[in-house]
Structure formats: C-alpha cells, structure tokens
Amino acid sequence: AVSIFFRISFKAFSSFMLRRGVGASVRCFSSSSPLYKAVAVVLSGNGVYDGSEVHEASAVMVHLSRAKADVSCFAPRIPQMHVVDHSTGNPVEEETRDVLAESARIARGSISPLSDLDVSQFDAIIFPGGFGAAKNLCNFATQGSDMTVIPDVEKTIKDFHSAEKPIGLCCIAPVLVARLLPGVSITMGKETEQDGRFPFHEATAVVKEMGAHHVPKEINEVQVDAPNKVVTAPAFMCNTAVHEVYDNVGQMVKKVLELA
C-alpha cells in the first residue's frame, strides 16, 4: 500500500512540475478577490551574507499572506557579487551563483526576472534586506556614498515612485531609495552602536551623505515618508531576537498595505 501511494503521489507531483515548468511566472501566494493588494517582492539571493536575509524575506511573505495579499517574487538575473560560506563568513573563491536562481529557493520556485515586472500590475513593492541588497542590487557594500543601483532595480523603484505606489524596504535595503529618491526620509535603526545593538550604525551616516534624511528608530518602530510613499524598518540592522525582527517587518508590511 505504501508503494502504491508513493507511486501515485510522485506521479501527481511530477505532472505538476512538468505543467508549471522551470522558472514559470506564478504567484507565490494568491487570492482570487480583487479587494486584496497585489505586491511585488524583490529578492537579492539566498542568505544574509551574499543575498536576501532569509528571516526577513520569510517574514515579508508571512505578513503579506496573512493580509491576503497577492504576492509575486522577482529577482535580477545577474551573477552575485561573490559567494560567501555562511558557516565561516568567508568568500568562496572561484564559485559563482545567479541571483535569480538563488532567490528562487526562498520563493519556492515561483519567481520571475525583475526585468519582467510591470508596475501597472501591482499596488506596492517590498525589498527585504540582507547584504545582497547592498552587493547585488547595488554596490553600496564596496562604493559607499558613491554607489550605483543596477538598471533593473533603478527602473523598478522609479516606476513605482512615479506611479505613487508604496515602496517598503528593511534592514540595509533603504540605501536603494537613498540613492534614487533625493531627500527621502528613511530609517536603518539607530545612529550609534548602542552597546552593540546596532553594529551597522555607520551606514546611517553614509545615506545622509547621499542626501537622504535619516530618522533614528528602535526595533519596534518604522519610518513612513508619506509624500514619497516609502516605508522603512530597521529589522536586522539591530542585533536582536528574530521574533522582534519578524514583528518589525510586520509593522512595515502593514504600513505599506495601508498606503496602497
């Protein structure tokens, strides 16, 4: 009986995979009601040191799912800046990985190239953090205030901003709008180390060099720039418990949906 069940289950699973195809564009989470918001989530890889911060990305998905949002995941089809062994924190020499392929792990395969994103099909967009946002979506990690944003990300952010649709960013990801939206008001947490709670606080001075207005916030707060419809949250810019980051991401998601 077990053998028969396995053969039937595997056959059904294989049929599903063949129907959807590798890289097919499908919703990560979907609702049939037009009353629910359509939200694009942009990933930057898989793993905090060279891609999306997995806990932040997962928190975004869960909070959007709970709000019955219609979620689609996107990522640029580009090589990662480098690959980091997450057990040591050291770069792995002579290894390359694709940002889209790695991001698909978080999206459970339901992901599309960022170049395919059509702003008219969405009510809002969210960028989780992780060093991938500073290494793959832009070069903030190496260039600081002289950073540039990759073309697909620049176009996407400017398209949502021009359409007056909300943009949510957490952790280090707010550097993207700091570069692209002059005078934008953001937060990446506190501006001093606070006894080790904000180890990346120096990044706040850099975004101010780029012309952004930085507002210090605690882990249970978000910053809402209503005129620009930009919502930012500290998330793992604060060295804190994962449940506090989860809740903080939820605050960001809630404000983004309120603006949508």
Three-state secondary structure call for residue 171: coil
The strand ranges marked E within the chain are 38-42, 70-75, 84-85, 90-91, 111-113, 124-127, 167-170, 185-186, 213-214, 223-225, 230-233
Q: Give 90: exposed, middle or buried? Use CB within 10 Å, 0-12, 13-18, 19+.
A: exposed
How far is CA 81 from each of CA 45, 114, 118, 180, rounded to the nearest angstrom?
10, 17, 26, 21
Q: Give 145: exposed, middle or buried? Use CB within 10 Å, 0-12, 13-18, 19+.
A: middle
In angstroms, the CA 148 to CA 143 distance is 8
Catalytic entry in 28, 170, 171, 238 = 171
171 is catalytic: yes
| Six token digits for residue 63 | 């909070």
* Residues with a known catalytic role: 171
